[in-house]
Amino acid sequence: MKILKILPLGIFFIIIFFLFKGLNLHPDIIPSPLINKPAPLFALPTLDNPKKIVTNHDFLHHITLLNVWASWCTTCADEHEFLIKLAKNTDIILYGFNYKDDLTNAKKWLAEYGNPYQIIVVDQQGLSAIDWGVYGTPETFLIDQQGIVRYKVIGSLTQEKWDRELWPLIKKIQKERT
Amino acid sequence: MSTIKKLIILFFMLFLSLKSFATDIYPFNNPNDTNRFKSLTTELRCLVCQNQNLSESNAPLASDLRQQIYLQIKQGQSDQAIIAYLKARFGNFILYRPPLSLSTIVLWLGPFILLITMISFLIYYIRNTIKD
């Protein structure tokens, strides 16, 4: 009978434990099933030249960051400052993935805020983005030299996320090679 | 009830009934495919507004995915193939009913374990009070 008396208290603490854990959950961040799998096949035109087609082959032999953005996306504007800084201070190859955007607006946006991207591919219909599992902009993929997706940042890429998540992984991938 | 009130209610009834025309954007040749489309879009979750399914959501991504499901049904893909296609891209999260796996076993079996525990405690408790 003793056990019955402490049981409610025990259940109470179990519930408190799960509620407390729930405070730190981020249901808006959905883990990507693409991690450690080859980047989805794609062939998309670039923003500068609609005749130039970029494919998965352009991801080989170097570590690439692929940043999904659009001029209509307000969080992308917040993130942009950091991307500019990143392009200036590191030699990481940063590609842009322009998602369901108006091309005139996209170009205007880049002229205004600066262009950190080496190449920008354009997906106006958002069909290739489905293959990448894009569900909200901005999103950033880290792709290794073999063209394998290694990480995905959902939401704004910040200095904090860079220092804590991406940079250690990039260093690790660079070591794998040597 | 005043006439104005009645008119307001009538207005809303007519206005809201427009929703029922929404499925006509996806015309199918046979009712079986129409039903499959309906059940698939209600079984799958919209990733942008997570508490809505694909058929209810107004998010642009939900509309793109509806279009994909529509095209794939038209191409003769099976339900399993369409679900596998979406799962490979967006993960288990797109399913409202997650599959039974090591990470979801508590979710599936938890309630039953809790129920059995509670019933055994209840039986234990009742037996003891009868003895007393």
Residues of chain A with pLDDT under 50: none
Determine the pLDDT at residue B47.
84
Question: Amino acid identity, residue B34?
Answer: T
Asked if A126 lies within 8 A of B93 by C-beta distance, the reply is no
Residue A177 is predicted with a pLDDT of 67
Q: Are residues B110 and B88 in the same domain?
A: no
Residue B17 tokens read as 């009934």
| CB spacing of B64 vs A126 below 8 angstroms | yes
3-class secondary structure, A49: coil
Three-class DSSP category at A121 = strand
Q: Are residues B39 and B93 in the same domain?
A: yes
Closest CB from A30, A126, A127 relative to B93: A30
Q: Is B96 on the interface with A (CB under 8 A)?
A: no
Predicted confidence at residue A178, as pLDDT, reads 60
**How many structural domains are present in chain B?**
2
Q: What is the pTM of this model?
A: 0.79
| pLDDT higher than 70, residue B7 | yes
Same structural domain, B79 and B53 = yes
- What is the Cα–Cα distance from B53 to B49, expressed in whole angstroms? 8
B17 or A21: which leads in pLDDT:
A21
Question: Is A122 domain-assigned?
Answer: yes
Average pLDDT of the residues of chain B? 86
pLDDT of residue B101: 82
Structure tokens, A163: 């220092």
A7, A26, A30, best to mutate vs chain B, most B CBs in 10 Å:
A30
Q: What percentage of chain B exceeds 70 in pLDDT?
A: 92
Question: Is B12 inside any structural domain?
Answer: no
Residues of chain A with C-beta less than 8 angstroms from the C-beta of B87? 33
For residue A41, the domain's CATH number is: 3.40.30.10
Kindly list the residues from chain A whose CB atom is less than 8 angstroms away from the CB atom of residue B92: 33
Q: Calculate the alpha carbon distances from A21 to A62, A90, A154, B104, B111 in Å.
A: 39, 37, 21, 17, 19
In a domain, residue A92? The reply is: yes
Domain span at residue A104 reads: 37-177
